[in-house]
A and B are shown apart, each in its own frame.
Chain A
Amino acid sequence: MKMPDKETCPIFDINVHLGCWHNQRLPYTSPLQLQKKLNSLGIRKAFVSSNQAIFYSDPEPGNLELLNKVKRYPLFVPVPVFNPNIPNSEEILRKYSKLKIKIIKLFPSFHNYSLNSEKIKSVLKFCLLEGFIILIQMRMEDERLQHPTLKTNPLDIDKILEIAEMYPSLPIICLSGYFNECVRLAQNSSNIYLDISFAERLDTIKALLDVIPLSRIVFGSHTPFFYPESALLKVESSEIPLCWKEHILYKNIETLMEER
């Protein structure tokens, strides 16, 4: 089991969260604890979003709280939670664009909208023109283990594929998809990227690479909901060339960011 040299291969984690959660006693709820944990594992950049912002009627104050919390910690790249249903959503997007924030995270299951609605189409059109990257959080928890009175439904894969086809130059990173969902999304699109946090099969990475191009797999751990060691071990234990591991661990995300 080998990993690339930590000095030359930083790890970028695309799927990190900060804050409390109603259905799980999360570890590392402060930015200092979270940074310490992720740094100890060689993670050098963490794209983090706010758990509280998901549930605020207007996510923006939650995003600003996160920004203030993590600004002293170089590990974190704050990713705003974006709800296209709020009345000033276009104004918010324009603000992000001016601030050169070119990445937003969607939570369609939590914000109760369909990915093929007219509203989301106009948002995605703007994002395409302004060079954004879209993250779609497919789930936060295994549906079988949700709180019995606070349940969300899995996303409709067809609708994700529909928007990917509609905007083929818009990079869409789907987070927390199960193995079969990842395969279907990647095989039926050219602009959907997948993280590895929920995908699991015997020899996960090799199994994914048997059917998905290397360029579409990115490292995501879903920390602190999951033990980040699990995602790292998936990569570490796979018998693939070290240069392929580098692509999964940071180069694929870096390339996407550089293109923005």
Chain B
Amino acid sequence: MNIIDIHVHPELEDQDYSLTEKMIGLAKRYGVKHICLLGDVLHFGYDPSEEQIRKINDQTIELVEKWSDFFFGFCFLNPKHPEEFMQQEAGRCFKNKNFKGIKLEVAVNARNKHVEKVMRIARNMNIVVLLHSWSTEIIDNREHQSDPEDIAYLASHFPDVKIIMAHVTSARERGVLAIKPFSNVWVDTSGGQPIAGTIEYAVEKLGSERILFGSDAPGRDFSAQLGKIYGSNISEYAKRSILGENARKLLGITDG
């Protein structure tokens, strides 16, 4: 099976590529054909400066160029920065045809007005936006963290922009229901423990076409994260869709 992993973070400290090479080797062991690199998004904390954003994207660009047959890139942005800077940064990343989307982390909540600037850029460039999301019922910090309800709010205001909501494990049933009405929202399976029933519920409510496999490596292990899909009680068609076909269609990946 040609798997696409939509959610992997390189590490800025990996100057000699040892971690990257290890990740590639491990991923291939599991049949992963492509990985989407989202940048070392928390290396400089919640609110990276323009210079720090450039550094993070420099690394993603470098890795995507060096392993162009394996990696795709997402351009990491901080929505608090001026729209002009973000446009320049997106333009710089998207000179490489292997860049597929924009990544937002925890600088601001998805409802924050600043996020609208990013969504306008994504709309104009016709690219997807992958947003971190985690239920704040327990962890609080909603100024930075986005609940699935916040992602739903954003999706309702930008119905023509495709959104990937990360971490369906955290969203759980209520999160899945929150984004269900918005056909412009996909979810990824990355991160969290392999909680049984999560994938089945998401497939039942959203359909398998709106779910994308992600691991959140290297903080997470391909094994445990793939076990979620292999162990779920869903059809083989649904598993194939989640593991690669949906990402291929959404991101316009034509090989394999």
Contact = CB atoms under 8 A, between A and B. Distances in A.
A243 interface: no
Interface residues of B, number: 37
Interface string A216-260: 000000011111111111101100000000000000000000000
B228 interface: yes
Contact of A202 (B139, B197, B221): B221
Interface string B211-228: 000000111111111111
Given A25-B197, A204-B221, A231 B172 contact: no
Interface string B1-36: 000000000000000000100110010011000000
Contacts of B172: 145
A39 interface: no
Give the contact-size bracket for chain A: 20 to 34
Nearest to A232: B227
Given A228-B231, A230-B228, A230-B231, A237 B223 contact: yes
A132 to B, nearest CB: 29
Contacts of B67: none
A225 B228 CA distance: 12
A148 B246 CA distance: 34
A195 to B, nearest CB: 13
A243 B217 CA distance: 27
A237 B222 contact: yes
A227 B194 contact: yes
Contacts, number: 104
Given A27-B197, A225-B196, A202 B224 contact: no
A232 to B, nearest CB: 7
A27 B223 contact: no
B137 A198 contact: no
Interface of B: 19, 22-23, 26, 29-30, 134-135, 137-139, 169-170, 172, 192-197, 201, 217-228, 230-233
Given A198-B193, A200-B193, A202-B217, 12 more contacts: A1-B30, A142-B192, A144-B170, A145-B135, A145-B170, A202-B23, A202-B220, A202-B222, A225-B195, A227-B232, A233-B226, A237-B30
Interface of A: 1, 24-27, 142-146, 148, 151, 198, 200-204, 223-234, 236-237
